[in-house]
Structures are given as structure tokens and as C-alpha cells.
Amino acid sequence: MVTARKTYTLILLFISCFLAAQDQSQKPVDLQDYQYKHEASAGARLQSNGFTVYGEYGWIKDLNRTRLLQVEYTYYIDYHQQKRQVDPTLSGPDYIYGLQNHFHTIRINYGIKRTIADKADKNGVRLSLIAFGGVALGLLKPYYLNLTDTLGSSTIKPERYSSANADRFLSPAYIAGSAPLRYGLDQIQPVVGLHGKIGLNFDWGKKDQFVKAIEAGAMLDVYYERLPIMINKSNHFYQLALYVAFHLGKRW
């Protein structure tokens, strides 16, 4: 009887030790997300007013919270801009009618990513809310056109828009195409503003070690003055846009 009890006791101890060992072996897999402390990614964003490339670095607090620092560059495009061909009597590249300044933006943002719904399985999607705030440095680069001084003249000179040449700058009969991009580089004007962004992040990477996500949301830049981008339409001191972004990265 004693021997049988000892045998049962040893069997129970063995089973308990085996189950404990199995439980310990599973923990690193189940808690793998919590082991990552950092992430870094880069991506591209298509907006309703241009496109952006960016990089971001994150500090992972836990499975549900990540703090992010983001640096990005945006080239502004007004999709209503009219690209025109040069008058047949002149020769030159196509030009954008009514454009006064090209507009570029550099931003530095700080934000948070908060998990709303985690992956149901390894092939699932993690849904997160993202929110950013930061500073925006706008750069206005004058747009130059090759203009003739009089109708029918062969004298062509690159000029930026001014009140003195407004009639010729907006008259196709005087325009011999856009000037090379190098014109205006020494006349870039900075404009400081604030930036905010909110969106939803869909991370479908099969392995949590890698960042593979699509993001969609809205963003807003507010500047201290109106941005003189177009001549023949109203300009604003803010830029509001919807966006879709795709980025890749890694966690460690």
C-alpha cells in the first residue's frame, strides 16, 4: 500500500514537473510581444494634397502602447493645378499655369500608437489608433517661368511672379515654358507651423518581429500666415488632407 502511494506520488510529481516545464516553455512564445522594446520603420504616404516620405522610431511600453518619434518630408501638390503646353510659336517644356511657389514641408512629430484590437492569430491584423503632434517647417520656393519681354520677341528670360510682370506671367502668349529647377533655390522662404495627425494603423505582419502596416487617416498643418502657392485662387494658412500610408520596419 505504501509502495503504491509512493508510486502515485512520484507519478503526480512527474506530471506536475512536466506540465510546469511545458508552461515555462510556452511563456516566451505567448509573451513574445512584450519582449520587444523598440521599433523602427520607414514609409511613404499618398495624400489628397501631395505625397510624403518618412521615418519613425518607437519605444514600446507594452503590447498595447508605443511612443513614436517621426520625421517626414512632404511635397505639396494641388491636384487642380493646370499643366499646359507652350504656345506653338514658342518652344519650351510644359509649365504649371498660375503657380507662384513650390511648397515643401519638413516635420518632426511625437505621438502614440494604442492597440484597439490585437491579432486573433498569427495571420490576423492588429488594429491600432495613432495620434501625432509636432512642428512643421514649410519651405516656399519661387516658381520661375521663361518669359518673353514683348509679344513675338526672341528675348527670353527666367522670371518669378511679381506685380510688375503679372500680366505676362499669366498670359500664355508670353510663356516659353518652365525654367530649370535651380532658379529660386537661393530665394527659399521658411514658414513655421504646427502639425497634427490621427489615423488607424493595420499591421498584418505574420511575425511580430517585423512591422508591415497600412495606415489611413487625416492630417492638419496650421501656419502663421497664408501660403502664397497659387496666383489665381485663394490661398489658406492651413492645409487639411486625408492620407493612406504604407510602411515597413522591425522590432527588437
Strands 210-223, 144-148: pairing is unpaired
**Do the beta carbons of residue 239 and residue 230 sit within 8 Å?**
no
In tens, the pLDDT along 163-175 reads 999 999 999 999 9
CA distance 179 to 215: 37
Q: What is the pLDDT of residue 34?
A: 54
Pairwise CA distance, residues 192 & 101, whole Å = 16
The whole-angstrom distance between residue 141's C-alpha and the CA centroid of its chain comes to 21
Could you read off the pLDDT of 83-99 as tens digits, one per residue?
999 988 788 899 999 99
Residue 2: per-residue pLDDT = 46
pLDDT at position 27? 40
The pLDDT, as a whole number, for residue 151 is 85
Q: What is the pLDDT of residue 32?
A: 47
Q: What pLDDT was estimated at residue 212?
A: 93
CB neighbours (10 Å) of residue 109? Answer: 21
Q: Identify the pLDDT of residue 242.
A: 97
Euclidean distance between the first and the last CA atom of the chain, given in angstroms as a whole number: 56
Please give the pLDDT value at position 75: 97
**Block means of pLDDT (10 residues each) for the chain, length 252 residues?**
51 49 42 74 96 97 92 92 86 92 98 89 84 98 94 88 95 94 96 98 87 96 96 90 96 91
